[in-house]
Amino acid sequence: MRIKFIKSPCGIGYGYSEGEEAEFPATLAKEFIRDKFARELKPKTDIPPDFPSRHIFVKHGFASLEEIREIATIELLTAFQGIGEPTAKRIVKYFKQ
């Protein structure tokens, strides 16, 4: 999970400063957020919220529909854990519209 520090957690053993961004395992990031040291950074993307398996693409760093279009084949899409053939076919069809 990507977070941005809103205050330094140095007092609890971490050497990050206010304004720094970092990637942490979800459990640790949620502790920083809970304790008001950080806020979650949402990925910036033009992938519509209702796009099939959007969360998988965002998790893997895809920021645009164009990036997904470049890999929009059944074989490449089904290589992602969580995308089966029916979903892959919906994605391919989406780009043929």
What CA–CA distance (Å, rounded) separates 1 from 43? 10
Q: What is the pLDDT of residue 92?
A: 96
pLDDT tens per residue, range 24-73: 898 999 999 999 999 998 777 889 989 999 999 988 888 899 999 999 99
Q: Kindly report the length of the chain.
A: 97
Relative to beta strand 2-5, strand 38-40 is antiparallel
What CA–CA distance (Å, rounded) separates 74 from 4? 36
What CA–CA distance (Å, rounded) separates 14 from 8? 8
| DSSP 8-state secondary structure symbol assigned to residue 87 | H
Reply yes or no on whether the pLDDT at 6 is more than 80: yes
Reply yes or no on whether the pLDDT at 90 is more than 80: yes
Nearest C-alpha neighbor of 12 from the set 23, 25, 28, 1? 28
What CA–CA distance (Å, rounded) separates 89 from 65? 16
Q: What is the pLDDT of residue 73?
A: 95
Q: Domain segments of the chain: what residues?
A: 2-40, 54-96
